[in-house]
């Protein structure tokens, strides 16, 4: 009874349907949502005639939630609210739970439903191919300058359009430079351009190389996004490539969509560069402002050459330094550790800057072909200096980064670095909450299949096994309640194949009871007393039940380990159903039978019309 009460308590939240909502968070962890920002957005909703209720800000001010009365106007509400707030905020679609507080106080929450049942959130992201190509060309520019400087070849290297142009004072220098570039970078196409008073080389990327750069960026971003989704703890996500440079991300059952959107789309990376010397040429250095508000207006000149980037980080953990300030503990991979050691070993007593790179967006409004004003997000990279400490000794593969504003920001940066840096910036081109992808009819039929299967089992068990069958039916109902409760507790996602697993569980759940009841009838035919027949039937059938269910459980575990998507959904419900069915059949049914027959002298068991009082008719 205690287990049943707990099962009812933790399965009840699934009866409360969620509300369509908007969730507002800041693009940065340090930005809070205050009453002024909320009021500005709510006023815009009122002016647009969109009804809402339950507008509230979380206790820490990190996000706000506004419930929308009409789900059909949820997308329109998002556009209106986003325009009213302007840049700096993320307005995401959400499904807000309606579970009563007295249930949430006990830790009860509704079961997550897959995209094919209740939906979730669907993002379509586009990889910035031009940025990926520009990053590669910036790398070539720095490398070529260094290589020519080492060979003492004088020339001016500068970017131009989709390539790099080198101007030299003599044909001899041009040909020497061409040989060096061709040897070190064979993927570049080199063309000679003769201009009056100078000899020029233009290096461009071939179409095949451009395709490889884009493919690498998309592939690397796929891996990074999967890691970030794993950090979010989403069950059974879908992250896959679509077309040339787009990625589709589906997060079933997720609630905090604003957090998911910020984590998925955030381009946060680090670059480690040496602080430029006084005599460093202007063409080889850049100036960056400090990020900390305490150093507002201060800046440093950094060399353009990058020692390492965040892509070399193998692990990152948020922590605090000896002064109680937030920091991030960094561990580099083997190559990154080697590069860092080599760079710092030869530059002791110089300063090294840690550059924080973050992709942000400016909002502007344009008129489309239909004459309607549409919102356009224009991306830009904000690069600011975290810190520039003096190199006291050669650094290895482990060190710490300081200069962060608060613990939330350090945790977020650690997550970004741990999950992996994005090879190229990404932008959201489509976002929506997804309803049943297989249609309401399929969902209705899925639920109907459970009802029909349960009804058939109930009818057969009661007609064939009488009182014992009635006890098995109660145990079967308890089994379904416990299955739903456990899936809600562990945060498992129910999909349409998962419903098939539940239907199979309904059929399999009575197998154990059939084995037990058949054993009891056999004992009665052998002229065993009713009480002893009940005892022997349960005791001797347990081994068989365990053997049969354990082998099925092993198969379900293998399905979960090697399968993906729908296969995992089926395996999860099947595994939990096996465990709950064994419990309800062995303990639940026995408790009910003992409650009805125990403690008294009986001559007749209602377990089938042909079996009586320990003898056959």
Residues 600 and 468 occupy one common structural domain = yes
Number of domains in the chain: 4
Q: Which residues of the chain have pLDDT under 70?
A: 27-30, 118-120, 161-162, 195-197, 230-236, 253-259, 262-263, 265-268, 293-294, 375, 377, 403-405, 409, 412, 415-421, 433-443, 564-565, 609-617
User: Which pLDDT score is estimated for 485?
Assistant: 92
Q: Is 159 helix (H, G, I), strand (E, B) or coil?
A: strand
For 50, the 3-state DSSP assignment is: coil
| DSSP label at residue 586 | I
What's the CA gap between 81 and 481, in Å, rounded? 41
pLDDT score at 434: 65
CA distance 572 to 89: 37
pLDDT, tens only, 570-607: 888 889 998 898 888 888 888 888 888 877 777 778 78
Distance CA 605, CA 75 (A): 63
Where does residue 336 rank: exposed (0-12), middle (13-18), buried (19+ CB within 10 A)? buried
In angstroms, the CA 93 to CA 326 distance is: 31
For residue 79, the model assigns a pLDDT of 80
Domain range for 321:
268-406
Domain-embedded: residue 259: no
Q: Coil, helix or strand for 541?
A: helix
Residues ≥6 apart with Cβ < 8 Å to 522 = 537
Would you say residue 194 lies in a domain? yes
Are 65 and 185 found together in one domain?
Answer: no
457 and 596 fall within a common domain:
yes
Integer Cα distance of 83 and 493 in angstroms:
34
What pLDDT, on a 0 to 100 scale, did the predictor assign at position 585? 84
Which region holds residue 502: left if phi is over 0, alpha if psi is between -120 and 50, else beta? alpha
Same domain, 136 and 105: no
Based on the domain organization, do 59 and 150 belong to the same domain? no
Tokens of 506: 């309904």
pLDDT exceeding 90 applies to what percent of the chain?
A: 6
Is 214 inside a domain boundary?
Answer: no
Q: Are residues 78 and 135 in the same domain?
A: no
Both 204 and 320 in a single domain? no
How high is the pLDDT of residue 143?
Answer: 81
Q: Is residue 421 part of a domain?
A: no
Backbone angles phi, psi at 384, to 5 degrees: -135, 155
- SS3 state of residue 52: strand
Q: Are strands 308-309 and 198-205 parallel, antiparallel or unpaired?
A: unpaired
Q: Which two tokens stand for residue 128?
A: 């910035």
Which CATH number covers residue 138?
3.30.1360
Q: pLDDT per residue over 391-435, tens digit each?
A: 878 887 787 777 666 777 677 677 666 666 677 778 888 877 665
CA 299 to chain centre: 36
């Amino acid at each position: 009874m205690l287990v049943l009460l707990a099962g009812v308590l933790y399965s009840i939240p699934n009866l409360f349907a969620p509300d369509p909502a908007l969730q507002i968070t800041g693009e940065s962890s340090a930005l809070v949502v205050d009453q002024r920002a909320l009021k500005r957005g709510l006023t815009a909703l009122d002016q647009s005639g969109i009804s809402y209720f339950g507008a509230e800000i979380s206790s820490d001010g990190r996000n706000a939630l506004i419930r929308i009365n009409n789900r059909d106007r949820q997308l329109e509400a998002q556009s209106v609210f986003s325009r009213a707030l302007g840049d700096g905020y993320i307005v995401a679609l959400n499904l807000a739970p309606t579970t009563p507080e007295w249930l949430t106080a006990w830790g009860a929450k509704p079961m997550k439903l897959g995209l094919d049942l209740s939906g979730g959130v669907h993002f379509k992201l586009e990889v910035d191919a031009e940025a990926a190509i520009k990053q590669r060309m910036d790398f070539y520019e720095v490398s070529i300058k260094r290589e020519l400087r080492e060979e003492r070849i004088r020339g001016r290297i500068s970017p131009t359009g989709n390539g790099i142009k080198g101007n030299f004072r003599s044909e001899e220098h041009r040909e020497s430079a061409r040989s060096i570039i061709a040897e070190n970078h064979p993927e570049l196409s080199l063309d000679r351009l003769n201009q009056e008073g100078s000899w020029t080389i233009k290096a461009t990327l071939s179409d095949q190389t451009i395709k490889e750069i884009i493919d690498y960026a998309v592939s690397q971003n796929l891996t990074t996004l999967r890691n970030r989704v794993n950090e979010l703890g989403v069950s059974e996500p879908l992250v896959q490539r679509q077309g040339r440079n787009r990625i589709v991300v589906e997060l079933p059952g997720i609630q905090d969509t604003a957090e998911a959107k910020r984590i998925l789309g955030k381009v946060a990376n680090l670059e480690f560069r040496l602080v430029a010397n006084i005599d460093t040429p202007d063409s080889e250095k850049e100036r960056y402002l400090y990020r900390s508000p305490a150093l507002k207006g201060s800046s440093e000149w950094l060399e353009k050459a990058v020692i390492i980037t965040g892509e070399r980080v193998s692990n990152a953990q948020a922590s605090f330094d000896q002064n109680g300030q937030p920091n991030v503990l960094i561990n580099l991979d083997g190559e990154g550790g080697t590069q860092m050691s080599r760079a710092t070993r030869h530059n002791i007593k110089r300063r090294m800057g840690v550059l924080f790179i973050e992709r942000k967006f400016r909002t502007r409004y344009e008129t489309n072909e239909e004459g309607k004003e549409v919102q356009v997000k224009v991306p830009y990279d904000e690069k600011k200096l975290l810190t520039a400490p003096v190199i006291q000794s050669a650094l290895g593969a482990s060190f710490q980064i300081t200069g962060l504003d608060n613990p939330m920001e350090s945790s977020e940066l650690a997550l970004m670095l741990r999950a992996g840096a994005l090879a190229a910036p990404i932008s959201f081109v489509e976002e929506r909450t997804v309803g049943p992808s297989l249609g309401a009819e399929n969902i209705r039929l899925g639920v109907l299949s459970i009802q029909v299967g349960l009804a058939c089992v109930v009818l057969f068990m009661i007609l064939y096994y009488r009182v014992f069958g009635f006890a098995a039916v109660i145990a079967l109902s308890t089994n379904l309640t416990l299955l739903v409760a456990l899936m809600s507790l562990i945060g498992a996602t129910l999909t349409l194949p998962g419903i098939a697993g539940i239907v199979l569980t309904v059929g399999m759940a009575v197998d154990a009871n059939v084995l037990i009841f058949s054993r009891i009838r056999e004992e009665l035919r052998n002229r065993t007393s009713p009480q002893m027949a009940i005892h022997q039937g349960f005791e001797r059938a347990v081994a068989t039940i365990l053997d049969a269910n354990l082998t099925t459980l092993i198969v379900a575990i293998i399905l979960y380990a090697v399968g993906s998507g729908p296969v995992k959904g089926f395996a999860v419900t099947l595994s939990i159903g096996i465990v709950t069915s064994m419990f309800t059949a062995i303990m639940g049914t026995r408790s009910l039978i003992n409650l009805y027959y125990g403690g008294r002298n009986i001559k007749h068991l209602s377990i089938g019309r042909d079996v009586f009082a320990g003898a056959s008719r």
